Amino acid sequence: MNPVRPDEKILWVTWEDQRRNRSVSKAVGARLLEISGAGQGRLGRYVRSTVRTVGTVLRERPDFIVASNPSIVLASLALVLGRSLGRPVLIDAHNAGLDPPGGEGSLLHWVASAVTRGADVTVVHNDDLVDDVRHRGGRPFVLPDPVPDLAEAPEPVKPSAFQGKHNVLYVCTYDFDEPYLEVVEAGRLLGADVCIAITGRKVERILAANPPSNVIPTGYLPEADYVGALRAADVVMVLTTRESCAQCGAYEAVSAGVPMVLTGTATLRRIFSRGAVYTENRAAAIARAIEEAIRRRAELAAEVARLRDELVLGWNERLRGFHGILQELARRRST
């Protein structure tokens, strides 16, 4: 089923470097405008990103605008552009886009709610966010992350950070919901034959915690190196303190066929219902979960293969529903 007529255009805009934007935009037939501002000052990045976004929308005049939130600035800008041009606007809302720092009563929270109400559709990543969107007066649609296609990635090459007999890749971005300091402490409780490699740019945060020799920050990994590390890992670990968060790193682990250690939230247990050991975000619990995942590695790897097939089937069904939403918006616009 085609989402829109062949002559209609979807522009998907993001100011973040995230795999979801690339994979979902490709699947729905959208043109992706990805504006990354790593290493720039915030104000300069916002100005440059705004100018480029406005210029692209006015030049291409897409029939649909999809904007990723975060950035809440981008989401707000997309609503203004959509209303000015008479185009439907869909907001792809991440957890931080629906519930930004500051909590209820803050300016950011008020803007986030206004964006949700103003969008024609708010796309969320899992079913546990639907009520949140409705509570804010928005129209939700659930389109999870697809299992990414890593088929063209290079064969596994043991990364230099993998220095143990058993190697755990902890996928981390150093966001406020990631208990990376508990992971450092978990490393102290594990034997020297278990190595934890921690991804992400902010290496200094790990080094400041005086990590043991078996906890090694990798720094930023280019795509090929990151995929190689995923495939070479014995276990991939993804942790969050958010209750309704479904993390991209877990989908990447499923694609790579690697057992997982995940925070035991209801959301993660439901989506990743097999192939994982679930843990609390405490050092002792994390260490025990890693040991269990290593011990059950063959069993969990077989479960991950089954889970991958289930997730792919479920996502294809969701994609058909998304196509139906676009068709409805196209009909509404033409009347």
Q: What's the rounded Cα separation, in Å, for the pair 57 and 119?
A: 17
Span(s) in the chain for CATH 3.40.50.2000 = 10-143, 166-311
Enumerate residues 6+ apart whose C-beta is below 8 A from 182: 239, 281, 282, 283, 286
User: pTM value?
Assistant: 0.90
Report how far residue 296's alpha carbon sits from residue 288's, in angstroms, rounded to the nearest whole number. Answer: 12
The radius of gyration of the chain from alpha carbons, rounded to an integer in Å, stands at 20
Check residue 276 and report its DSSP letter: E
- pLDDT tens-digit profile of 263-304? 999 999 999 999 999 999 999 999 999 999 999 999 999 999
Which CATH superfamily, name and number, covers 166-311?
A: Glycogen Phosphorylase B; (3.40.50.2000)
Cα separation, 314 vs 335, in Å, equals: 33
| Span 10-143 CATH architecture | 3-Layer(aba) Sandwich (3.40)
Residue with tokens 């843990």: 279
Pairing type for strands 121-124 and 140-142 reads parallel
Closest CA to 253 of 161, 148, 143: 148
pLDDT in tens, the chain (335 residues): 455 555 579 999 999 988 999 999 999 999 999 998 655 688 888 999 999 999 999 999 999 999 999 999 999 999 999 999 999 999 999 988 898 876 676 888 899 999 999 999 999 999 999 999 999 999 999 999 999 988 555 555 678 889 999 999 999 999 999 999 999 999 999 999 999 999 999 999 999 999 999 999 999 999 889 999 999 999 999 999 999 999 999 999 999 999 999 999 999 999 999 999 999 999 999 999 999 999 999 999 999 999 999 999 999 999 999 999 999 999 888 77
Three-state secondary-structure class, residue 31: strand
Rounded CA separation 222/225 (Å): 5
Distance CA 268, CA 287 (A): 19
